[in-house]
Structure 1
Amino acid sequence: MPRPHRNPSLLARLPYWLLAILLLFVIGLWAITTNDTYSSIFNTLSGGVVTTLWVTLLSFLFATLLGLLIALGRTSGHRVLREAATFYVEIIRGVPILVFLFYIAFVAAPAMVAAFNWLAAPLIGSGWIEPATVRGFDFVWRAIFALTVCYSAFIAEIFRAGIEAVDRGQIEAARSLGLSRWNCFRLVVFPQALRTILPPLGNDFVSMVKDSALVSALGVQDITQLGKLSASSSFLFFETYNVVAFLYLTMTISLSLLVRWLERVMDARTSR
């Protein structure tokens, strides 16, 4: 007689790698809540979480908007736009993020301030506005600008791949029905491309959370910078960087699981 089928418990369905991560999270949380040293370090670094998320969210939002514009240029029928967008993508992707961060912070930022003062010279001369200074250009915004430019090139390729994955026959059918280029993109192309775009876009957001640690090189008070300052003053390098790793892992793994869940939801809707 066959045995009745039993649905495995939730714990049994969890993959081993996720169980191991949950175990590490519980150990880290237990250490932070029960050990005074870890608690003190966590309280010191917790302020950097807000800066890290602020820099990441703004950079990703701006990079997504800029990346979409570049992707439209990459798929444009006008050769000048297509070549200019391709030039931008190839140049930006060929420079390491840290090098580009320094370039924006110490080369482009002073040039932007000088250009602003030159353009606003009549207003400055009449006393309407004060001249801009390089010191007034906050390093947080320099970091946001640098991450925006760097990631826009990668996000542009994600958008381009999603747009080109849409069947050309549907675009031609939409155009034959009298839809303008914008309405064709808005109603036909983009909703279908979104299914292809969202998973890698989510992965890029997770990567940006990690790459935001590079802004500590500019002195931005994120998790990494606060951890560096805390460790150098207390000499508790092991404990401090354990907490730094714990904070980054908590954010990135949570976001990775969210991206996986969104992928499953979208696959389920697509298969209907």
Structure 2
Amino acid sequence: MHQNNFNIALEVKDLTLCYQQYHAVIEGLSLSFAENKISVIIGPNGCGKSTLLKTLANVAQPSQGEVFLNTKPVHEYSRKEFASTLGFLPQKNNVPSGITVRELVARGRYVHQSFLQQWREADELALKQALQWTQLTNLAEQPLESLSGGQQQRAWIALVLAQQTPIILLDEPTTYLDIGHQHEVLNLCRWINKTHKRTCILVLHDLNQAARYADHIIAMKDGKIVATGTPKQVITPENIAELFNLSCSVITDPIRNTPLIIPEFENIEDIHFE
């Protein structure tokens, strides 16, 4: 399944994933992600967005179907080979006690090392670059647990960037960030994508940010695909109503020329919560 004749970086075929062998979170899903593009997965809470990302990252195992990385089934990759190709930042991360920002980000280089080949100049360069890109250079020696939630989030993103994989998966990377840092992170993703040709696949809650930064959007509901395509193809009043039960208008962003959602305003006397 190819999109617009782009090379395929990741692909799932007939994917079904169940919790406790009974409840299907994702069922019969087939989908591909284009190489060197920014793809964003959107949808209501509990629709399977994060589950799909975990499956792509080979963290969750499908009950049925297959995930392909560069046309090769992911289960055929060695752990090190897979981690050298795809970096994944989950939605929630446990902060290791006593670890500094530098030590955390350095973990992104472990996959490039071996018993005979320890820390190298290339590792140090990748570490410094990741810290610089996430604006954490001055905090490198600080304990991670002493940082704000937003700073910690940027440190985790730096870890993935230090891994230097051609494919990056980020599950809600703007969580805990104020609006300024949200756009810094998304601009960083776009810059990495355009300048360094990284394939980026993100889960985002903010639909206007998804529309602004994505090349391709996948809209999910109840474990199934509602719509896929460019932001203009997916971000429509009809799709938003189906996905979120929200009436809205969609106008054109005057800066980026992308869709911009304006929820309809309800008079207080028309709102009922019984």
Aligning the two structures, in what range does the TM-score lie when normalised by the shorter sequence? under 0.3
Pair member with larger Rg = 1
TM-score norm. by structure 2 comes to: 0.22
TM-score norm. by structure 1 comes to: 0.22
Higher relative contact order (CA 8 A, sep 6+): 1
Higher helix share: 1
